[in-house]
Amino acid sequence: MKKKVLIIISIILIFIIIALVLKFKINNKEKNTIDNNNSNTALINSNEIMQNVNTNVENTNTNSNIQNTDKTEKNETTNNKIEISKKEEKKTEENIENNNNEIKNTKNNEKKTIVIDPGHQTKGDTSKEPIGPGATETKDKVTTGATGIVTKQKESELVLKVALMLEKELEKQGYTVIMTRTTNNVNISNSQRAKIANDANADAFIRLHADSYDNPSVNRNFCIMPNI
């Protein structure tokens, strides 16, 4: 009887031990599961952290990019400003140059203008025009002029040669010279020649002639000056 009780107690003990071992194992398993869960959670968290870090990095990069863009824009703006100021500088220089040119022009305008009219032309124009502004009396528009008795040189050719020499000399002395003609083959009436001088607002109008005279004993110059 005693032996039977011992066996039963032993069996119960064994069950208890088995139960304890099982419990221990289950606990361990649960613990591992929890640990695993925890570590998974940790992993998820660390992933989230990484994502956050990445997002932050991205944000930082974006900010950097924005800052860089800002800087680039600033640089561009600065460059534009520099370019604009350079342009303004150029404009100022151009203005100064223009002013200088204007001063030069003003000085040029201060130069006296002389219109030289070499009289006549190779071929005359016998159509009529008034002898002066508003005059009723008329005469040939322009004649061929005289011819040298000995040289046979035409007046129109002689006065043109003299006029071209006079032009050079007057220009050398600083005058502005305007010629009514520089060749012989033209057709410019006397009133048209006067108009050239008036239009140029000339300070002097020199009409060159080498006219002929009936008396061969006469040898002199002939000059007509306006009464001013």
Let me know: does 189 contact 125? Beta carbons within 8 Å: yes
User: Which of 119, 154, 158, 197 is the binder for Zn ion (CB under 5 A)?
Assistant: 119
DSSP 78-137: HHHHHHHHHHHHHHHHHHHHHHHHHHHHHHHHHSPEEEEEE---SS-EEEEEESSTT-S-
Q: Which is nearer to Zn ion, 121 or 145 (CB)?
A: 145
The interface with Zn ion within residues 129-168 (CB under 5 A) comprises 145
Q: d(Cα 159, Cα 125) in Å, to the nearest integer?
A: 18
Q: Which is nearer to Zn ion, 145 or 160 (CB)?
A: 145
Of 228, 178, 227, 181, nearest to 200 by C-alpha is 178
What sign does the dihedral 195-199-204-208 (CA atoms) show?
negative
Q: Which is nearer to Zn ion, 176 or 192 (CB)?
A: 192
**With CB under 5 A, what is the number of residues at the site for Zn ion?**
4
Of 79, 184, 181, 47, nearest to 121 by C-alpha is 184
Would you state the structure tokens that stand for residue 132, as one six-digit string? 């002066």
Q: Which is nearer to Zn ion, 120 or 167 (CB)?
A: 120
Residue 89 touches Zn ion, criterion: CB under 5 A: no
Residue 211 touches Zn ion, criterion: CB under 5 A: yes
Minimum gap (Å) between residue 213 Cβ and Zn ion: 11
The interface with Zn ion within residues 35-74 (CB under 5 A) comprises none
Residue 118 touches Zn ion, criterion: CB under 5 A: no
Tell me the window of 20-28, 110-118, 186-194, 209-217 that interacts with Zn ion (CB under 5 A): 209-217
Interface positions with Zn ion (CB under 5 A): 119, 145, 209, 211
